[in-house]
Amino acid sequence: MERKSYPTDLTDMDWEILAPLIPPAKEGGHPPTTDMGEICNAIYFHLKTGCQWNMLPGDFPPRSTVYSYYSKWQGQGVWEKFNHTLGGQVRSKLGKSTQPTALAADSQSVNTDQKKGMCMVLTDVKR
């Protein structure tokens, strides 16, 4: 039975980019039986809709399995890799360097030179 598609589902192109970033299964254990693409689809559904884990639609993998991967990947920095990779892809498509070349920080985030209202801005703009 094929599951219903959701607006949050990964496209084939999205999956081609993200699949290599997912950590491989541990060696020597039982071979994985869960589709990692479906795990990602369930996690994105949860993140986009804000639903509770126990309210994931039943056509996704079991919520305990989905949450287990979400939590494990969070600890392994997988989400940061996803964001870094996808951010670089978007910047590249826009004709920009894959890495940003400027940083702006406000006085809430960085110590200032003690003058009220003074803001520090760091830049390394290459044009």
Domain limits, the chain = 36-98
Buried b / exposed e over 5-26, threshold 16 CB at 10 Å, is eeeebbeeebeeebeeebeeee
**Which residues are registered as beta bridge partners of 122?**
103
Treating both helix axes as pointing N-terminal to C-terminal, what angle do 78-93 and 63-76 enclose, rounded to 10 degrees? 80
Mean pLDDT for all residues in the chain:
81
Residue whose C-alpha is closest to residue 47's, from 79, 93, 77: 79
pLDDT at 114 over 90: no
pLDDT at 79 over 70: yes
CA atoms within 13 A on the CB side of 80: 5
Q: What is the pTM of this model?
A: 0.69
pLDDT at 127 over 50: no
The predicted pLDDT at position 64 comes to 95
Averaged pLDDT, 54-66: 95
Percent of the chain with pLDDT strictly greater than 90: 39
pLDDT at 49 over 90: yes
Q: How far apart are CA 120 and CA 127, in angstroms?
A: 22
Structural tokens at position 54: 């126990």
